[in-house]
Structure 1
Amino acid sequence: MNSLLATGVYGPMLRRAILGLMFAVCLSLPTFGQEWARKMFSNFEHDFGVVARGAKAEYRFVFKNLYVEDVHVLNARSSCGCTIVSVENPTVKTYEEGAIVARVNSTAFLGARGATITVTFDKPYYAEVQLHVRSYIRSDVVFSPESVQFGTVEQGEEADREVTVTYAGRSDWKIVDVKTPANMTAEVEEVSRSYNQVVYKLKVHLDKSAPAGYLNDHIVLVTNDYRYEEVPVTVEGMVQSPITVSPGNLFLGVVKPGQTVTKTLVIRGKEPFRILSISCEGAGFEFDLSKEKDAEPKTVHVVPVTFKAGEEPGKIAGNIKIETDLGIEPPAPTAMAVINPNIP
């Protein structure tokens, strides 16, 4: 496990040397700060491509806390009003994730746009990380509504949504194909065509096979416009499992070799159910199901999870697999622990 904190004791006779050292450290802090913070990001730039005017286009720059100390985002700012920035989960604990969300301001801006996003961290140390986005906002294509919004859909159910696509320009403009992500189908129907405007109806179907979790993807409209052949349409929603598990990621802490720690996993259902088994890919994790044997079905189950550290230092992690009598596989949270022989 990494740690950014260090301590030391200095005698008064070393004052001059310490002052010199502090001066050198201060000079090097920007480089050091940028390096530890940059390590938390997996990528630093994103190209939105072509964006229709008024359409919703977002991208999440995800960062993961790799350190023992909490990480805190003080702010995130954009160099251009063409990109609106927000922060998801500004305080991030060990192995948790946060995100810097960049959204194209496609209502107020047109044409080729680019922005630099500066992310400022103030804990555990001050640091800045720069991210870069670019896009081309078209004025001749408009979606209504701005994206495909499925809202909340129960797992195992189907859903249908429609978006009106309006093009202003060439009378021969056409949508010739539609590319869809997994578990979705789509088709377009031409509604009207005049000398300067073409209107299509985009019909999107979400299959019942869609897994539980967030929908955040794109449908791509392929057109006969040789300049900007493809136009993406954002798809968002939530496929909700009848069974939920919290916390989503179970971090049992930083422990010494041989140490034992116990936390709880809460499993909820919309209807009463039984837990048949729980297992984990990571070594050392045990689940106490003694109270589940011969118990009546219930909507809330509280399961103790115990981790016994081995002798080998390092990170131990694995997905938790839960089997119930409902025949539906709930989301698989991750169990994590870190073995460190050097902790007090």
Structure 2
Amino acid sequence: MAVTTEGVVSSRTGPGDWLTSVNRVCLEHASGFVAERCDEQFRGRGEGSLAIEALPEFVGGGKFLRPAFAYAGWCCGRPEDDAAVRAATSLELLHCFALAQDDVMDRSALRRGRPALHTRFARWHRDQGWSGSATRFGESAAVLFGDLFLVWSEQMLRESGLPGTTLARGWPHYDAMRAELAAGQLADLVNDARTLPSWDAVLDVIRRKSGNYTVRRPLEFGAALAGCDARVLRTLGEYGGLVGEAFQFRDDLLGVFGDPDLTGKPVSQDLRDRKASSVVVLAVAMADAAQRQELQILLDEENLDDDAVAGLRATIAATGAPDQLEKLIDRRVRKAVELLDDAGVPARMLETLAVLAARCTDRVL
């Protein structure tokens, strides 16, 4: 039976329940679409036997934030529509592309509490007793499957059921999002490879790599598909920019102080990877002379053991940077929600966007 949004609409008792229902429908669309594509490409072929299991599972572990923002953008201009849900869901496959390759770049063994794709395929290589480097095989496979997710994302959008004239309004935003993601990743890579960047440089990367890609562009994409006017698009863009920054600030805090059961990654993985995240850069800027010296000594260590990581966490906390980031998150979310008043956003979506902003920035440390 085809999934429709009729249940989403009729069961709506509030924005939280509605968003949960949208998330469920998006998950069903994404998992079903990827499972069908895997059957087409890999069924009966030995080299794809693990992909048939691993790729749908990888998709199913997501939070579907980007589709939620995209569909919220659509609902700012048009009624509920299952084809629009499928179009919005295509952004989750774009996200899977980014995650698969990001984990290779960051050498992250885990994703969403499970082995990352490259880790899983490296283990498969070893289990088969094949020759050559299992690590290299796993990384190469993850890059290729990331490429597939990129292709499938566009295919899912094109085959969503929306008319060509409707899709035409969204393509420029979809293309901008993909280009910004790659350019932002490169900027992030450069930041992590040099002396700690400035706060302004970190903000620039956050906006291009994470903030725009997670919130602003999906919102604009959905609203453009719906034919929203320039005023609504502008307001959603401003809202999305602020919430996107707040989202990344929270993500950076979780990368240092988060619970591994929540983040799906080892404790303080960002510190072990020496990522130039907002909390680290802000801590260095706010540190006194003694604290700055401690941070520099620890950041210069070749390999950070558990004691070194604990020392970094304690010093970062002592600078006041985490508290300052919490204030920045709160200010951005408050300002973003205030922007929506009297800006042409339908009343039924005002509370929904406020709940979405809270959901993606109030994750527990």
TM-score using structure 1 length: 0.29
Which TM-score applies when normalising by structure 2?
Answer: 0.28
Higher Cα Rg, which structure: 1
More helix as a share of residues: 2
RCO higher in structure (CA 8 A, sep ≥6)? 2
